[in-house]
Amino acid sequence: MSIVRNPGIPLDLKHVKGIQINRSALERRAATMGTRRSVKKDYQTAWLLKAITLIDLTTLAGDDTDGRVKRLCAKARNPVRREVLEALGAADLDIKPGAVCVYNNFVGTAVQALAGSGIPVAAVSTGFPAGHTPLGTRLAEIRASVKAGATEIDIVIERHMALNEDWRALYNMVAKCREVCGDAHIKVILGTGELGTLTNVAKASMVSMMAGADFIKTSTGKESVNATLPVSLVMVRMIREYLEMTGYKIGYKPAGGIGDAKTALVYMILMKEELGNGWLEPDLFRIGASSLLSDIERQLEHRATGRYAARHHQPLV
């Protein structure tokens, strides 16, 4: 799937300031996700296999080591056991996650471990998760990640810019990060659980896309509130609005709190209903997760054998 990359557009403050969100109406719509549609039987198997290809398989722990990253990459190469895929008739499919996401220090380790697999390495940069380090330090971190082989960079915004409605500062910051990324795609993490209102989420989404974001992402996974359906609905509707304004397709990445197959399917339904089938591809949709793959594999094994395996039969690392 070939996506024309978003070059960004000049900041339109009049448009940004005019954005308003009807919270009650939006929450009513979000509440219908996963209740009006269900995916069962063979269709569920297909959707779960598709879900694996949308995962940014992630380790962002304080006790990460080269060994842990290597084990995660080994799992990325073989996300579902061969015998399970054969039982499902899916052994010939190229099932692999959308990317492996690690701290900047482990990019080289991940690149080496994934060599030849076609699986991209994503790096969290710019003072993750708070984003309070000096801008020069954050830009240097991006350069280091790209030099080490990361082809995707997940940056965090300074939340105070959105809280203070300093949209020009946010635009300039994202634009500078986008420039330093070069050919590496940039995912802009909004930290939505710390932005106060859904209107702030909508405005920060729009400003980030105007500044050249390839993806907008909900959370670092470290906030007390991470991805939610109302927040996701706001963000994907801003993506649709930006598409109508510019013709450029922007990706979406919910992250944090999506740990089971059922929840992943609800997010996939949201993307299909709001943006269409084109957004059910890893070029435009990722799910940031660390434990989700284990539950999906467990559900697939149940589809293959009729029995649920213990979770420790599908360890990530």
- DSSP for 198-223, please give it: HHHHHHHHHHHHHTT-SEEE---S-S
Compare 310 and 156 and report the one with higher pLDDT.
156
Average pLDDT over residues 214-231: 94
Report the C-alpha gap between 228 and 251 in whole angstroms: 17
Q: Which of 127-131, 239-243, 311-315: highest mean pLDDT?
A: 239-243
The model's pTM: 0.95
State how beta strands 215-217 and 251-253 pair: parallel
Which pLDDT score, from 0 to 100, does residue 317 have?
61
List, edge to edge, every strand of the sheet that includes 55-58. Answer: 251-253, 215-217, 185-189, 152-156, 121-124, 99-103, 55-58, 287-289
Q: Confirm whether 237 is domain-assigned.
A: yes
Compare 18 and 34 and report the one with higher pLDDT.
18
- Rounded (10°) CA dihedral 228, 232, 235, 241: -150
- Residue 183: domain span: 13-306
- Mean pLDDT for the chain overall: 94
Which pLDDT score, from 0 to 100, does residue 144 have?
97
Q: Confirm whether 311 is domain-assigned.
A: no
Instruction: Verify whether residue 214 is a known catalytic residue.
Output: no
Closest Cα partner for 162 from 129, 197, 209? 197
Compare 286 and 222 and report the one with higher pLDDT.
286
Catalytic residue among 75, 187, 203, 253: 253
Which pLDDT score, from 0 to 100, does residue 33 have?
82
Which pLDDT score, from 0 to 100, does residue 37 have?
66
Q: 17: domain CATH number?
A: 3.20.20.70
Rg (CA), the chain: 19
| SS3 category, 282 | coil
Report the C-alpha gap between 193 and 75 in whole angstroms: 30
Q: Confirm whether 152 is domain-assigned.
A: yes
Task: Please provide the size of the chain in residues.
Answer: 317
Q: Confirm whether 317 is domain-assigned.
A: no
Catalytic residue among 96, 217, 249, 295: 217
Which range (30-34, 133-137, 186-190, 268-272) has the least confidence? 30-34
Q: Confirm whether 316 is domain-assigned.
A: no
Average pLDDT over residues 251-256: 96
Residues 161/194, Cβ–Cβ less than 8 Å = no
Average pLDDT over residues 170-183: 98
Q: Confirm whether 4 is domain-assigned.
A: no
Which pLDDT score, from 0 to 100, does residue 307 have?
85
Closest Cα partner for 153 from 105, 206, 118, 104? 104
Q: Confirm whether 5 is domain-assigned.
A: no
Average pLDDT over residues 2-8: 91
Catalytic residue among 154, 203, 214, 249: 154
Total domains, the chain: 1
- Percent of the chain surpassing pLDDT 90: 85
Q: Confirm whether 315 is domain-assigned.
A: no
Which pLDDT score, from 0 to 100, does residue 153 have?
98
Closest Cα partner for 235 from 256, 211, 206? 206
Average pLDDT over residues 191-209: 96
Which pLDDT score, from 0 to 100, does residue 290 have?
85
Instruction: Verify whether residue 154 is a known catalytic residue.
Output: yes
